[in-house]
Amino acid sequence: MGSFIPPINFSWVEEDLYRSGVPNELNYPFLEKLNLRKVLYLSPDELPPQFLNFLDDHDIELVPVGWDSDQTPWMPISEEVVLAALDVILDTENYPLHVMCNLGRHRTGTVIGCLRKLQQWNLTSVLEEYRRYVGGKVRLLNEQFIELFDVDLVRIPENPPAWL
């Protein structure tokens, strides 16, 4: 019997929606069990060729969401990138969907935090979830971005996920 090891910072977000950092080869058997349709990738870093091969071998579509090349890694991702990511997340045609960035901390945490605001979670719960994945590396600018994110800018599809 094979072992099933989830990627770093893996978690279930909602039904058929997952988050994590970039997986390595030990995580591939685990990912196979998720029957993913798409991977939403939020990082400017190139993905390992082995992971790209895994996606290709399993007919999983990679959806890279823009990265501002003028942006420094310690700055929050832009509102434009978050809105583009939420467009992908709110389209149930993309499910099962896996959201990831390099370590599944800051970019993924910011996008999921903005999703939680859209779900009308209270800010304390949103920030607690963000902090759970960043450990001791909290970025106050990301927390401020989440707090000030205007959910009225999000385009809600005709058939949103049931959990929205």
The C-alpha atoms of residue 60 and residue 58 are separated, in whole angstroms, by 5
- Cα separation, 154 vs 149, whole angstroms: 10
**Which positions are catalytic?**
101
Instruction: Tell me how far apart the alpha carbons of residues 16 and 35 are, in angstroms, rounded to a whole number.
Output: 9
Asked whether the beta carbons of 45 and 102 are under 8 A apart, the reply is yes
The two structure tokens encoding residue 137: 């590396």
Question: Taken in order 136, 142, 144, 147, is the CA torsion positive or negative?
Answer: negative
Residue 17: strand, helix, or coil: strand
Q: Which two tokens stand for residue 29?
A: 């058997």
